Amino acid sequence: MAFSSKDLQYTYTWTAIAGDNPKISGVPDSTLFNRHEGYEVLYLINKVMDLHNLSSISTGQKIEKMIKMGLPSDVRSQIHVLAWIEKNWNNY
């Protein structure tokens, strides 16, 4: 079961810049992550859930809360956000 936009707890912008197709997926990389952009938050939540075989809406919302409330401002790339979530999972 994929975590969807209707499962999100917070409000986000939903814009894609030129060349940024929100339907394209891949592996987290050094691309800068925008914690206020719904497409990016949703992508990362689903990527974490896929990587760790997680499936509940409450788990997706935990990841969202970690991003929204705890992610340090100096953690900026997708790969570093993923690593931060994995490292800090038990703190939330």
pTM over 0.85, yes/no = yes
For residue 41, count other CB atoms closer than 10 A to its CB. 23
Tell me if 39 is assigned to some domain.
yes
- What pLDDT shows up at residue 35? 95
> What is the spatial distance between Cα 13 and Cα 87, in angstroms, rounded to a whole number?
27
Q: What is the mean pLDDT of residues 14-26?
A: 62
Give the 3-state secondary structure of 7-27: HCCCCCECCCCCCCCCCCCCC
Could you give the number of structural domains in the chain?
1
- Give the tokens for residue 56: 């509940």
Tell me if 22 is assigned to some domain.
no
- What pLDDT shows up at residue 21? 55
Tell me if 20 is assigned to some domain.
no
Tell me if 59 is assigned to some domain.
yes
pLDDT > 70 in the chain, percent: 87
> What is the spatial distance between Cα 13 and Cα 91, in angstroms, rounded to a whole number?
27
Tell me if 54 is assigned to some domain.
yes
Tell me if 26 is assigned to some domain.
no
Instruction: Provide the domain limits for residue 57.
Output: 5-10+31-91
Tell me if 45 is assigned to some domain.
yes
Backbone angles phi, psi at 65, to 5 degrees: -60, -40
